[in-house]
Amino acid sequence: MINVLIVEDDPMVAEFNKLYLEQMEGFSLVSVASTSKEALELIDQKKYDLILLDIYMPGMNGLEFLTEIRKLEKAIDVIIISAANDKLSIEKALRNGAVDYLIKPFNFERFQEALNRYRNEKIQMEDHETFNQVELDRFIFHKQNDATPQKQLPKGLTRNTLNTIWNMILEMKDQSFTTEELGTRVGISRVSIRKYLAFLHEIGVINEEIVYGSVGRPLNQYTYNPSKSSLIKHYL
């Protein structure tokens, strides 16, 4: 479970961030702070993996706070969520190690994408003691092997979301799953997840089976297909 601290001085925005976070699998909101001073006190008391950080706050602003926790060598990742859209703020945040930057106002899809990507990278990092260059480029820097040309995805599908879904399928590769089960795990609606599963089944990287229960409608169950899994690399 990824422990999260929200640092946001606007109570309404903090509540929206909290509601969004509650829809994400694998994240736990531990605390909410309305000032950087309060946040610094909290990170001395509890363990956090991720901070959702605003920039415009009274007293110490978010960028100063980010600089401070880097000085303290706190092993905490930060996603900026702010109305600050100027070049200097963005550059300073990225130089100080912000893993993503969301400009207010933003929609749930962008929030979902940022947290899913962060969770997947964290899982991948924890699964490796060492990296070769190809793994580092793909998992950390989102680069593609030049020898693997990308193919066009069907209309309505995005590579980031496909990456999120595929990484979750790899985590579940020893068990079957339904549309609802996978959608809950990655925090994506049933309608959207169904489109991606149809595509993955079409290219052969997952198997589909209709299962009839004693009551109710039959369920489509899916399983990872290792014999054709290499086909997905052309789309990621």
The CATH number that applies at residue 164 is: 1.10.10.10
- Report the CATH number at residue 9: 3.40.50.2300
Q: So what's the pLDDT on residue 149?
A: 57
Cβ atoms of 186 and 168 closer than 8 Å: yes
Q: Measuring CA to CA, which residue among 67, 70, 66, 71 is closest to residue 81?
A: 66
| Same-domain pairing of 87 and 38 | yes
CB 120 within 8 A of CB 164: yes
Within a domain: 134: no
Domain boundary among 59, 88, 122: 122
Of the candidates 211, 222, 215, 129, the one whose C-alpha atom is nearest the C-alpha of residue 170 is 222
**Domain assignment present for 68:** yes
pLDDT in tens, the chain (236 residues): 899 999 999 999 999 999 999 888 889 999 999 999 999 999 999 999 999 999 999 899 999 999 999 998 888 999 999 999 999 999 999 999 999 999 998 888 889 888 988 888 887 777 778 878 877 776 666 654 444 556 788 888 988 899 889 988 988 888 899 999 999 988 888 899 999 999 999 999 999 998 876 666 778 899 998 888 878 877 87
Question: Which of 122, 137, 164 is the last residue in one of the domains?
Answer: 122
Residues 114, 8 share a domain:
yes
Structure tokens at 180: 């609802």
| Same domain for 6 and 114 | yes
Domain of 54?
2-122
pLDDT at 142: 60
